[in-house]
Structure 1
């Protein structure tokens, strides 16, 4: 019967229950061989026995077991040494973080008090960029910490946070090693990533402390080498102090401090990476907004809205739109994107993606109800610099006047190319559409972000298919419409959906992102205080002048980034790529024209104004006022000053909505004062695209047609109150209205003027 043997813990052999130990001479001989060859072959072991007489009584099998034990002990020794080294490093870092935590607590205790809730401070003169905030929310500290740690759920620039390791602490806290990736905001820069250490602890009074800082220059510690398409940035001392409030809720103190390696981006973009204001808007304030939004949803029990969606589901849709747009904009190779050859002009970049993960179940709707199963997604993207156009103003125009930039008749070649095979275009198909109706879906507490469904009425494939048309729907995310919010970027992101609006519907987001490069002088935002004079005194031997400088009016800059996704079949890839380039170039041209027109109507304070610089505007204002006085026997403007600039100023600020339309067969509006623009929900630039017929309801159109002859003969008519529509389709009620003929210096009819008195949205 074969003898049973097993290994002991000292390298010897236990044979039939008896220990067989190696002599020191035998171990020395085996060690010499081990250092030369840790894993000898069977032939080498037999040769060893023959060459070393002192090993002659050892069987080859026992020699094999000794080498196995020796390799195992060596591996354990190295691992133990490494763990002891990491433990010493983490213990030292833990001590430093505890000291940093105590310092931060002392620092923030001087910042916020009961009367300073909601304050956001912007740092100047410190290393990197920094911001801090204090807020009160109706959530328990543990829930607050859970939300804030889930950074991708509220920080839209955050692509991913991976937890590499977790070590518990003796106080019930934890030490985590994290790897975080941030999206690049434009096509002109590279994405950022971070290797972080996060320390969480609970203080004696029940407060939660979360400290974060980058891991740098740690020997034998965890490390991630540089990742392709990312620049390694640094997070300086940052974190959260979450204090429980009596009666429930929490007071949250937030400190964000980063060095985003601005040297690696083009000089024109460096304000984005050196501006504490941008950091505050995109990260610090967004953290507070997420907490307040979730607290509101909890208080309302998460009841579904009219669309049958609960608030959490709507937030998930917003997140999907934002994330999809960022993924398309960044075009990471790990997501399946690859660069297509250019057409010789580098203004528009086209990427292609055919990965199964991107296309799985992608069935996109078309206006006539035909569903196209696609196997290729293209993304055409570009960036451009804008001058002296507030992002919020341009965004509102793009949202409200899609026909100004969405070109549905690119050229005959495009229409023919689409007919060769189905493809889904962002925002609609080639052809005309009758208009858009905005259907509200959800909004955040401060209305800084809107989620809505856009109904595109009467969309057709092309002019030849005008009889075959239908409605198309877009899911749209709109944020940053408050032009007074300092450093706020504006986004309009949309994706085609079908009428069923299923929860799991695939989304191919496209849209615009407009980021201010220069701060707005004297800007503020509702329900928020920005202390631009404060400084955050965080250590660091290097200091640099703050980049939050103020620029003179007229030189404010912003960068607009456009990314449009197209879905098609693989055999149509080259054709649709050419279509995508042409489409985006057409959009760029349209946006540039709109931006130029908006810029020309900005006053010295950067606000949209009446066209005071044009003599025609002054003359028209005088004609409107004089004609009203002549035909109605009363003064329209309560002023005896006939100076033309004063007349236009008074007309522009009149409380009632005053507007003029042409005397053509299809009258369109040619002028409106500020109240008129508000009622029509439009701008001076887009005013001429609105017809009188679209504003008046059927009753109003019939009444005006009946009274038109009287207006032209008598000069005026008084209309009963009623309901009309804004350019966005919203009903507007008015108490009464007056229409009168506007004549020029030669007493010839120039246009028709309307005044809607005591109007309001229904």
Structure 2
């Protein structure tokens, strides 16, 4: 060997000699640090180097190798789980196909005869098309992990229900009563499975964190800046964003879609709510509570991933990836879907900011709905006030692409920004906080209860049952893709719209339920229409099922400052229905009103009044939604305490019924049921117009 090669060989030997394995103590210490911080910065690596007697490069390489090892372990576990589920479902499908070959008609002994109506066939075709698109999208993603094509995937399991518990300091102190545990509506927004995968890569997380930080900064500026950024074009208290000024102040963040199909909605409102800041922040950062608290606006909500947890056991610093579907309570107004980041930060003692901003996720992840609609920096600034109150300043800012046009009946309401604006959110929040404050109250007069409900526990049970009734009613009106409506001919240009679902949920009658609704415009104020519907003395004028008999209110629970916000127990003055009562809740705020009711028998009422859990009592609610029409010039639009819905020129009324078609979940919808509900709604609308002296055209 050349003598010149010797130095190289000796150098290699020296390098080999310097290599050594980490000691068990070093590995144990590194593993402990890795659990807390998988990505240490240079300062942390230098400190570990000094503590363990290792070189900084050794520390750096160890963490890189450990992260790679952890990622490989997770991928192997995911692959095994997907293969097992795929094989399981393939076997189940084979068994089902074999079983179907042997199906016979119980009447004639031959193959089953299908007599599906045109309505059933069209609905199934649309549903199959949607499911096929979702399956193809999810399968293409899963094949990346399995390394081979995947034709079948396991169904996404529903997330577990969580109760709405706002009692921890919720209304001025913890001594106001036990926790609020209102039932989640099974099958509603908070329980339906979410069809998209929810994994965010390590590369995306810092990008999202930066987006959230910028959104929070912008939100604070939007809250703290007045004119000329915010203007009042209608002369009332409504504030809308001056887009020219906004683009000058936020030139980098205001990347607008320059398209005639995209329009901007931006509004701001502020007011006091009867709930302290800690409970409000918890409400905003829990998607299940969020959906339950806003059933009239939120039809679906999900926390897709917790990207950052709060600091020191609080919500401050929390960053969530969320999905939300918003609605107007009419089947003719399309819902709005957003995948967005929600970032919570405590600014100072007693002051919190919660910012939302849409996130553009990659096509590989397939999170986002196929729309260019997005939520620009929006949210709330919450400031603690005395006596359990909070001041909330709400900002809504979004760019909307309407793929499905809004029916002309609701066009003014939607285009004005009132349908999804800050005023609607804040008014609903104020009313719901009052409602839950009443639920927590420990005392009530016998006059309020009509001397019928004997205890505070009975009162709470009645309010919980009524809240579930409201949630069910709102869910039944959703115009989301999973709730497809078919239009029947007749009545008006909206027509009676119907949809059907099979109910096996707790708290609903088992079987096939037909939902039917229509919307009409009336040339009178929303306040007048609301008073007409909630008045027990005028009920016989519109209630077709009462056969002209009047009703008597036997109990009332007031649940808000407005006299129209109450829960009533009504008794029909009809000898043939002595065993049946009507549970009704009416509520009104600056954004609109609801009157919802459901029949309930005496044994069920006795269970509720005794304070027992009402979760098992089946309800099938019907009712009315009342919204201002959004048209200008009908009285100035001013909102006052005596007229909470303002002075629009008219009202938009949605009439909705739910009917149990059959107690067998396997039953098919028949033409007779559709005809019956069509006649029921048509007659109801005609009687409403006649009672209010409105033209019947």
TM-score tier by shorter-chain length is 0.5 to 0.7
Given that residues 207 and 242 in structure 1 are in contact (C-alpha distance below 8 angstroms), is that contact kept between their aligned partners in structure 2?
A: yes
Aligned partner of 1:316 in structure 2 is 464
Show the 5 A alignment for 1:560-575. 560-569=653-662, 574=670, 575=672
Whole-Å separation in 1 of the counterparts to 2:71 and 2:556 = 68
User: 1:199 touches 1:211 (CA, 8 Å); kept in 2?
Assistant: yes
The correspondence for 1:153, drawn from 272, 292, 304, is 292
| Structure 2 counterpart of 1:266 | 407
Contact 1:120–1:131 (8 Å) recurs in 2? no
Where does residue 224 of structure 1 map in the other structure?
367
The residue number in structure 2 matching 1:178 is 322
Runs of 4+ in structure 1 off by over 6 angstroms are 68-71, 73-76, 108-112, 301-305, 337-341, 343-346, 528-532
CA contact (8 A) 2:266 2:395 kept: yes
Cα separation, 2, equivalents of 1:258 and 1:573: 40
CA contact (8 A) 1:147 1:291 kept: no
Larger % of strand: which? Answer: 1
Q: Aligned to 1:143, which of 272, 276, 279?
A: 279
In the other structure, the counterpart of 1:457 is: 573
Residues 131, 280 of structure 1: 8 Å contact kept = yes
8 Å contact kept, 2:308–2:318:
yes
The structure 1 residue matched to 2:635, chosen from 521, 526, 532, is 521
Q: How many residues align?
A: 451
Describe how 1:283-432 pairs up with structure 2 within 5 A. Answer: 283-295=425-437, 306=449, 307=453, 308=455, 313-330=461-478, 334=482, 347-357=495-505, 362=508, 375-386=511-522, 388-400=523-535, 401-408=538-545, 428=546, 431=547
> What is the Cα deviation at residue 109 of structure 1?
13
How many Å apart are 1:189 and its aligned residue?
2.2
RMSD: 4.4
Change (3 A) 1:185 1:232: farther
Alignment match of 1:473 (pick from 566, 576, 581): 581
Q: Output the CA distance in 1 between the equivalents of 2:368 and 2:543.
A: 44
Counterparts in 2 of 1:591 and 1:302: CA distance versus 1, 3 Å: closer
Deviation for aligned residue 1:95: 3.6
The answer to whether structure 1 residue 197 and structure 2 residue 311 are counterparts is no
Counterparts in 2 of 1:444 and 1:262: CA distance versus 1, 3 Å: farther
Q: Is 1:213 aligned to 2:357, yes or no? A: yes
CA shift for structure 1 position 589: 1.7
Q: Aligned to 2:622, which of 507, 510, 514?
A: 510
Aligned mates of 1:399, 1:262 — CA distance in 2: 35
| Residues 496/442 of structure 1: CA separation in 2 closer, same or farther (3 Å cut) | same
Following the alignment from structure 2 to structure 1, what is the Cα–Cα distance between the partners of residues 271 and 487? 50
Structure 1 range deviating more: 164-173 or 580-589: 164-173
Partner of 2:392: 252
Deviation, structure 1 residue 209: 1.4
* Alpha-carbon distance in structure 2 between the residues aligned to 1:268 and 1:434: 33
Q: 1:208 to 1:300 in 2, by over 3 A?
A: farther
Q: Conserved in 2, the CA contact under 8 Å of 1:120 and 1:529?
A: no
2:684 to 576, 587, 591: 587
Contact 1:184 1:192 in 2 (8 A): no
Q: Give how far 1:93 is off.
A: 1.3
Aligned partners of 2:400 and 2:369: how far apart in 1?
Answer: 15
Partners of 1:152 and 1:291 in 2: CA distance: 14
Asked whether the 8 Å contact 2:341–2:357 carries over to 1, the reply is: yes
Equivalent-residue separation in structure 2 for 1:347 and 1:205 (angstroms): 54
1:438 CA drift (Å): 6.0
Kindly indicate whether the alpha-carbon contact (under 8 Å) linking 2:598 and 2:622 is maintained by their aligned counterparts in 1. Answer: yes
Q: TM-score, structure 2 length as denominator?
A: 0.55
Contact 1:128 1:274 in 2 (8 A): no
1:392, distance to aligned residue in structure 2 (A): 2.4
Quote the Cα distance in structure 2 between the aligned partners of 1:295 and 1:249. 11
Measured after TM superposition, the shift of residue 223 of structure 1 is 4.8
Gaps of 5+ in 1: 1-18, 20-67, 113-118, 364-373, 409-427, 461-468, 533-549, 601-762
Q: CA deviation at 1:153?
A: 2.9
Deviation for aligned residue 1:200: 0.7
| Conserved 8 A contact 1:318-1:477 | yes
Q: Give the number of the structure whose alpha-carbon radius of gyration is greater.
A: 1
Q: What SS class does the counterpart of residue 685 from structure 2 fall into?
A: helix
Cα deviation for residue 455 of structure 1 reads 1.1
CA distance in 2, matches of 1:170, 1:434: 55
Of 205, 221, 224, the residue aligned with 1:87 is 205
User: Given the two structures, how large is their TM-score scaled by the length of structure 1?
Assistant: 0.51
What residue in structure 2 maps to residue 494 of structure 1?
597
Which 5+ residue runs of structure 2 have no aligned equivalent? 1-20, 22-67, 77-143, 146-198, 231-235, 244-262, 609-613
Q: How big is the shift at 1:495?
A: 0.7
What is the match of residue 576 of structure 1?
Answer: 673
Q: Give per-residue Cα distances to partners, 1:717-742, cap 9 Å, x unaligned.
A: xxxxxxxxxxxxxxxxxxxxxxxxxx
Decide whether the 8 Å contact of 2:274 with 2:430 is kept in 1.
no
CA-CA distance at 1:317 after TM superposition: 3.3
Equivalence map 1:667-682=2 (5 Å): none
- Superimposed CA distance per residue, residues 682-704 of structure 1 (whole angstroms, 9 cap, x where no aligned partner): xxxxxxxxxxxxxxxxxxxxxxx
Q: How far 1:177 sits from its partner (Å)? A: 0.4
